[in-house]
Structure 1
Amino acid sequence: MDRDWDEVYASGDFQNYWDFAYPSPELVAFVAGQPAPKGAVALDVGCGAGREAIFLAEQGYQVIGVDLSPSALKIAEGRASKAGVTVDWRQGNALDLPLDDQSVSLVNDRGCFHVISETDRPQYVNELVRVMKPGAVMLLRGCREENPESPFVRVSEEVVDRLFGEAFDRGPVLPVQLIANAHKEEGLNANLVILRRKGE
């Protein structure tokens, strides 16, 4: 997706598209089903303005939030300070994550994968395999529908199996709506899947 992410955050325009006031219901339900193990490290990849990274920190995770945009991370840092939690914000690319090998127990992706081109998606998966511990879990959400006018690349059962199948076990691919402040009525038609990194 060809977009100047930093400009979208610096201008405040992100609030007209994907910003949201509360952590997503699907992430809240996910965490309710498996509370943070002691000392667990969570990665929020493409964390944007930080809403879900902050929620994970509030639930006891040691959280690393990675985003391309310095302006997004500045907003996120302010939100974390207001919430009274600490998050390790890191400017970086999802295709070259600024994290150590096998250092993460949980990955949260709400809309990062679906803006990565088909060409770059294998590298995205390779980076997750590198930074996730064996047995680590990922909550992945992204656009459900194929639309030539959409900036998003579809997240489907076929895509998940083709790209993640070798290194991950998965649960069912289920439909969800990704809600934003500016689009509370309709949201974005999306799919959700929970992936578990293979290995001992």
Structure 2
Amino acid sequence: MEEKIHTYDDILTMLDSYLREPEPFWDEFFSDREKSIPIFVNAPDENLVSYVERGTVSPGKVLEFGCGPGRNAIYLAERGFEVDAVDVSKTSLEWAKERADGRNLTINFLHQNIFDCDLNIGKYDFIYDSGCFHHIAPHRRISYINLIERTLKHEGHFGITCFYKGGELGGSDISDWEVYKKGSLMGGLGYTEERLRRVFHSLKPIEIRKMIDKKDTENQFGVSDLLTGLFQKDHM
């Protein structure tokens, strides 16, 4: 690749090369299925379950960012949602497809970076992200928000689960400028309720709270060191 900057996209690509975890990193992360990693459980996020059970989010067309082994995509597909699930790791998608096939579910798994996806304008009723956003570097946040606003239908919902600032699972307490000074996201950026409101200020906040702890026997994933949010795209 020619290392010259002519456009804004060239700047993004250059910064990505310094801060984005490469695809082999995530393939290695998901390669050992026996590792004691909280998100390896085959259970949906408790907040996601609450959105569906309350009827706040109804069956429709769904896009999931960073689906990993597919636990949330599977939950949604079982409840009548039509799911497109994206992940940069081929290894995680193979695992997710095995899980989906084991339940005779049809899910459209996409092996891509979310910023490279060719997605239609206003296509989705619901967009969900559990664990992708806190690995997005500051220079890509605008692209991330634009992607949501472009692909989400009017009055559609956006849900997110991310690291809480200073939480035990992760959530580095550093400024955006420090990310570039250190040359690292320090394992993933931490957020607060106030900061989520600021970042997604173009969307209407419905609920922002810490995740509720859940026991293994409850068949839901819940860890109170994570922050959850549900937003809606206002009708224009």
Task: Give the aligned partner of residue 78 of structure 2.
Answer: 58
Residue 209 of structure 2 is aligned to residue 174 of structure 1? yes
- Sequence identity (%): 24
d(CA) in 2 for partners of 1:134, 1:27: 20
**Compared with structure 1, are the counterparts of its residues 176 and 165 closer, same or farther at alpha carbon in structure 2 (3 Å cutoff)?**
same
d(CA) in 2 for partners of 1:131, 1:178: 32
Q: Which runs of 4+ in 1 moved over 4 A?
A: 35-38, 177-181
Q: Cα offset for 1:113?
A: 0.7
Query: Which structure carries more strand by proportion?
Result: 1
Task: Give the aligned partner of residue 94 of structure 2.
Answer: 74
Q: Cα offset for 1:2?
A: 2.9
Comparing 65-74 and 20-29, the one that deviates more: 20-29
SS at 1:32's partner residue?
helix
Residue 129 of structure 2 is aligned to residue 109 of structure 1? yes
Residue 199 of structure 2 is aligned to residue 163 of structure 1? yes
**Compared with structure 1, are the counterparts of its residues 73 and 15 closer, same or farther at alpha carbon in structure 2 (3 Å cutoff)?**
farther
Q: Cα offset for 1:127?
A: 0.7
Q: Cα offset for 1:144?
A: 1.1
Residue 230 of structure 2 is aligned to residue 194 of structure 1? yes
Larger Rg: 2
Residue 27 of structure 2 is aligned to residue 29 of structure 1? no
- Whether the 8 Å CA contact 2:51–2:57 is kept in 1: the answer is no
Task: Give the aligned partner of residue 13 of structure 2.
Answer: none
- Whether the 8 Å CA contact 1:47–1:65 is kept in 2: the answer is yes
SS at 1:49's partner residue?
coil
Structure 2 stretches of 5 or more lacking a match? 1-19, 167-171, 174-184
**Compared with structure 1, are the counterparts of its residues 129 and 73 closer, same or farther at alpha carbon in structure 2 (3 Å cutoff)?**
same
**Compared with structure 1, are the counterparts of its residues 37 and 26 closer, same or farther at alpha carbon in structure 2 (3 Å cutoff)?**
closer
Structure 1 stretches of 5 or more lacking a match? none
Task: Give the aligned partner of residue 45 of structure 1.
Answer: 65
RMSD: 2.6
**Compared with structure 1, are the counterparts of its residues 178 and 117 closer, same or farther at alpha carbon in structure 2 (3 Å cutoff)?**
farther
d(CA) in 1 for partners of 2:153, 2:96: 26
**Paired positions, count:** 195
d(CA) in 1 for partners of 2:204, 2:63: 19
Query: Which structure carries more helix by proportion?
Result: 2
- TM-score, normalised to structure 1, is 0.85
Residue 98 of structure 2 is aligned to residue 88 of structure 1? no
